[in-house]
Amino acid sequence: MKSEDYQHILDTTYRETMEFYGFDWGEMYFQDDNDPKHRSHSTKKWIQDNGILVLEDWPAQSPDLNPIEHLWHHLKLKLSRYEKKATSVHELWERVDKEWNSFTEDECARYYESMPKRIQAVIKAKGGNTNF
C-alpha cells in the first residue's frame, strides 16, 4: 500500500466511521504503528491539513499497546476454525465480515479497558515483551 492509498482510507472509511459514531476529529487521538506509509511526509501533511490528532512518540511494532492487534488475532482464530479454506477472495471476505461483526461490545471493551495495565507493563519491561 502506498501513502496515497492510506490517505484515501483515512479520508473515506476513517472519516465515515468517525461520523457514524459522532466523534469529533479534534477531540480524538489517532494511533498508527509507525509504518512508513503512516509517517510519510505526504501523510503527515494530510493528517495536519485535516486536523487529526496523532499519538506521536508511539513505539513501532508495539502489539501490547495496540488493542486492535489482539482483535486481529482473535479474528484469525475464528477464521482458522472453518473446516475448509476459502476458495476465493469473495468467500474469504464473507467469512471475515461475518466473524468481525460477531465481536461483541464487551469483547472489544476488554482490550481498551486494559490499556492502563498494558502501559504499566510495557514501562516496567522497558519497551520489551509483556504477558499481554
The per-residue pLDDT string of the chain (132 residues; one tens digit each, 9 = 90 and over) reads: 899 999 999 999 988 988 888 888 888 888 887 778 888 999 999 999 999 888 776 666 666 677 788 888 899 999 999 999 999 999 999 999 999 999 998 888 888 888 888 888 888 887 777 776
- Domain boundaries defined on the chain: 3-54, 63-124
CA–CA separation, 40 vs 10, rounded Å? 14
- Rounded to two decimals, what is the model's pTM? 0.55
Nearest residue to 15 via CA among 52, 67, 55:
52
Who's near 33: CB < 8 A, 6+ residues apart? Answer: 58, 60, 61, 62, 66
CB 112 within 8 A of CB 67: yes
Number of C-beta neighbours around residue 100 at 10 A: 14
Locate the DSSP E strands across 35-115.
53-54
